[in-house]
Amino acid sequence: MEWLTEFPAMDKTALRALKKGIDGGFRAWTREHGDTVEAFFEPIKQMLIWSEKFLLNTPWPIILGGIVLIAWLASRSWKITLMTLITMVLIGYFDMWDNTMRTISIMVVSTFVSIILGIPIGIAMSKSDKLQSLITPVLDVMQTMPGFVYLIPVVMLLGIGKVPGLLAVVIYAIPPIIRLTNLGIRMVDKEVLEAADAFGSSPWQRLKNVQIPLAMPTIMAGINQTIMMALALVVIASMIGVKGLGQPVLQAIANQYFTLGMFNGLAIVGVAIIFDRVSQAYGKRLQSHSEVVHGK
């Protein structure tokens, strides 16, 4: 009756051989193609290096001023601008400026890459039900697979450093922008689309004039989600050598430095809140035409 209490699993030796086989195959593949893959990611690596250097080498008052100015231009809200200023000043005062810059750098680049890739994928997905049913399960896997797991092949392929970190962040953060672009375009009012067709719009004119603008609130929500998820992965990415606010947190976990962990954790929260509020306010401002209603 052993088969009842013990699940009839695969033979241990066979299982080990299977795992070894896959690992060996993948390792051989990385050894052979590692350089090509690295060369492929070279431009992104340069972009990462450049943006980090820019943020670290520019004198802090200029960066601080720039961030506050962007917050103002995007949100046009004194409250949000003031909050941004106070948060950044506190971060600098508690000596976390450089790490915060590194985190902002990788976050901005990975969000940028996610948008550049995600929006076209989302658009393609909205045009074809077949593509949608193909991509959706992939996105599900990307979002639910624990971050650590896909770090393994990434590290095997590219080693430790900025690019694998970016890759990990993008894999984790890109699903919402793809999903919400797809959803937003599919939700566009059928009658308005019909009007666009009736006036003889080409597919591109339809996309540019009707679908994207009308899907914009949803797409903006996707971008906001992507930024938040990118920040959430900063700590995990620090395990594979991404410098920034994540590393001190990791150090604090290992050594039980409660205050160090707390400070850096709060800095991440602060940056997250700034990005969230500013991007949301910007999205809302883009939709200002729907705020004013007849009768006012």
Partner 1 sequence: MASDTTNGVKQNSTVEIKGLYKIFGRRPKHFMDAVKEGMSKQELQEKHGHVLGLKDINLSMPAGSIQVVMGLSGSGKSTLIRHINRLIDPTVGEVLVGGQDVCKMGQGALRNFRRHETAMVFQKFALLPHRTVINNVVYGLEVQGVPRDKQETEARRWIDRVGLSGFEDNYPNQLSGGMQQRVGLARALANDAPLLLMDEAFSALDPLIRMDMQSVLLDLQTELHKTIVFITHDVDEALRLGDRIAILRDGEVIQEGTGQDIVMEPADEYIQNFVKDVNRARVIQTESVMKAGVHSGATVEVSDSANLQDAARIMSDAQQQVVNVTNGDGQVVGHLDLETTVAAIVKQERRHTTPGSEFSA
Compute the distance between CA of residue 215 and CA of residue 19 in angstroms, rounded to an integer: 45
Compute the distance between CA of residue 296 and CA of residue 291 in angstroms, rounded to an integer: 11
Determine, following the binding rule CB under 8 A, whether residue 204 of this chain makes contact with partner 1: no
Determine, following the binding rule CB under 8 A, whether residue 199 of this chain makes contact with partner 1: yes
Determine, following the binding rule CB under 8 A, whether residue 289 of this chain makes contact with partner 1: yes
> Side chain identity at 61, as an amino acid letter?
P
Determine, following the binding rule CB under 8 A, whether residue 221 of this chain makes contact with partner 1: no
Stretch touching partner 1 by CB under 8 A, among 49-57, 165-173, 185-193, 243-251: 185-193
Q: Rule CB under 8 A: choose which of 200, 254, 258, 259 binds partner 1.
A: 200
Contacts with partner 1, 13-32, as mask; x by CB under 8 A: --------------------
| Beta strand residue intervals within the chain, DSSP E | none
Q: What are phi and psi of 270, to 5 degrees?
A: -60, -50
Task: Please report how close the Cβ of residue 185 comes to partner 1 at its closest, in angstroms.
Answer: 14
Determine, following the binding rule CB under 8 A, whether residue 195 of this chain makes contact with partner 1: yes
Stretch touching partner 1 by CB under 8 A, among 75-83, 196-204, 242-250, 275-283: 196-204
Q: What are phi and psi of 202, to 5 degrees?
A: -80, 165
Joined together, the tokens standing for residue 55 give 């943020």
Q: Rule CB under 8 A: choose which of 5, 36, 144, 202 binds partner 1.
A: 202
Determine, following the binding rule CB under 8 A, whether residue 254 of this chain makes contact with partner 1: no
For residues 179 and 139, the answer to whether their CB atoms sit within 8 Å is yes
- List Cα–Cα distances, 218 to 87, 104, 183, 230, 284, in angstroms: 28, 24, 8, 18, 11
Stretch touching partner 1 by CB under 8 A, among 36-44, 122-130, 133-141, 213-221: 213-221
CA 203 to chain centroid, in Å, comes to: 29
**Total interface residues for partner 1 by CB under 8 A:** 24
Q: Which of residues 91-150 bind partner 1 (CB under 8 A)?
A: none
Determine, following the binding rule CB under 8 A, whether residue 187 of this chain makes contact with partner 1: no
Determine, following the binding rule CB under 8 A, whether residue 189 of this chain makes contact with partner 1: yes
Task: Please report how close the Cβ of residue 227 comes to partner 1 at its closest, in angstroms.
Answer: 23
Compute the distance between CA of residue 206 and CA of residue 279 in angstroms, rounded to an integer: 26
Angle between helices 97-127 and 78-93 in degrees, nearest 10: 130
Q: Which of residues 232-251 bind partner 1 (CB under 8 A)?
A: none
27/285 with CB nearer partner 1: 285
Q: Rule CB under 8 A: choose which of 77, 132, 209, 280 binds partner 1.
A: 209
Compute the distance between CA of residue 171 and CA of residue 150 in angstroms, rounded to an integer: 9
Count of helices and strands (H, E) across the chain: 15, 0
